[in-house]
Amino acid sequence: MKIIKLRTLAQALAMLSAVSAPALSQPTTVPMPVPDEASIPKGPMGDAIKRGKALLTDTHKQLPGNVGNGLNCTSCHLNAGTTAYASPWVGLTAVFPEYRSRSAKVNSLQERINDCFQRSMNGKPLPFDSAEMNAILSYMKWLSTGVPTGTNVTGRGFEKIETSLVPDRVHGKAVYAAQCASCHGAEGQGTKNPQGGYIFPPVWGKDSFNVGAGMARMYTAAAFVKHNMPLGQGGTLSAQDAVDVAAYFTQQPRPDYAARVKDWPKGDRPKDAR
């Protein structure tokens, strides 16, 4: 075996940097595996995983002190967080902690979860060491079974959409009436179920996400709509239709979020940020 002698520590660090940099800047993408529920272990760990799923799919009822609207986490993270391009939770424990430009700092997965509670759920954060937070983390860890650390799964986040598309809110209103109102209501109020929650979530008004949520951003919402809506018919709207309808419903009245003034402190605020 040939041994290369490096004359200085600087040479060694430079070589290490050259090897490591591509892996850090360009994470490998791997297929998104969804584990079979039969693989949930018995005992306390399995109980925590099941509890975490229950909290995320029935959030409004299970965590009334932390949810300030009518939504569940799975109102956006479809099929219990297992649907590609609907911001799945599969693989999240493989990539966090992670730098986020909105806060301009490295966020833990707990911080990211609480960000959703405060914005998308218009509510209050969970204590980091609470049984509920640990249950949610347990479910996400189980969903990430088999995903190598430092890799992104195919379908993470939302589908990319062209942000140069110019929105037409008038056309968006027509798209909403034709494609969205039958489930989400003519006034965005959603469709309630007899148990007090929603069969289909409200997309504006007091029971919807607040202005600090990612879904309140036009292009983010459009990317979600393009791939996933109408429910069961994802991909049937054009990118322009998705941008137009997102421009319409994201600008409707919804709760404020005072702390949004602190977002993007480095000045790289996206053009569709509320």
- Please tell me the predicted confidence (pLDDT) of residue 195: 82
**pLDDT over 70 (residue 3):** no
Which residue segments constitute the domains of the chain, with CATH numbers given? 29-153 (1.10.760.10), 169-257 (1.10.760.10)
Residues 126 and 114 sit within 8 Å (Cβ to Cβ): yes
Confidence grade of residue 108 (pLDDT, cut at 50, 70, 90) = very high
Beta strands in the chain (DSSP E): 29-30, 98-100, 105-107, 152-153, 191-192, 198-200
Confidence grade of residue 20 (pLDDT, cut at 50, 70, 90) = very low
Q: Using CB atoms within 10 A of its CB, is residue 163 exposed (0-12), middle (13-18) or buried (19+)?
A: middle
- Please tell me the predicted confidence (pLDDT) of residue 274: 87
Estimate to the nearest angstrom the gap between the alpha carbon of 14 and the chain centroid. Answer: 37
Confidence grade of residue 5 (pLDDT, cut at 50, 70, 90) = very low
Q: How far apart are CA 157 and CA 149, in angstroms?
A: 17
**pLDDT over 80 (residue 130):** yes
Nearest alpha carbon to residue 94 among 19, 20, 27, 26: 27
Residues in Cβ contact with 119 at an 8 Å cutoff, skipping those fewer than 6 apart: 209, 210, 212, 213, 214, 257
Q: How far apart are CA 217 and CA 211, in angstroms?
A: 8
Query: Rounded mean pLDDT of 198-208?
Result: 97
Count of positions (residues) in the chain: 274
pLDDT, tens digit, for every residue of 161-196?
A: 999 999 999 999 999 999 999 999 999 999 999 888
**pLDDT over 80 (residue 105):** yes
Confidence grade of residue 77 (pLDDT, cut at 50, 70, 90) = very high
Residues 117 and 124 sit within 8 Å (Cβ to Cβ): yes
Residues in Cβ contact with 60 at an 8 Å cutoff, skipping those fewer than 6 apart: 67, 69, 70, 71, 72, 197, 198
Confidence grade of residue 6 (pLDDT, cut at 50, 70, 90) = very low
Q: How far apart are the first and last CA of the chain?
A: 59
DSSP element (H, E) containing 143: helix 131-143
pLDDT, tens digit, for every residue of 52-69?
A: 999 999 999 999 999 999
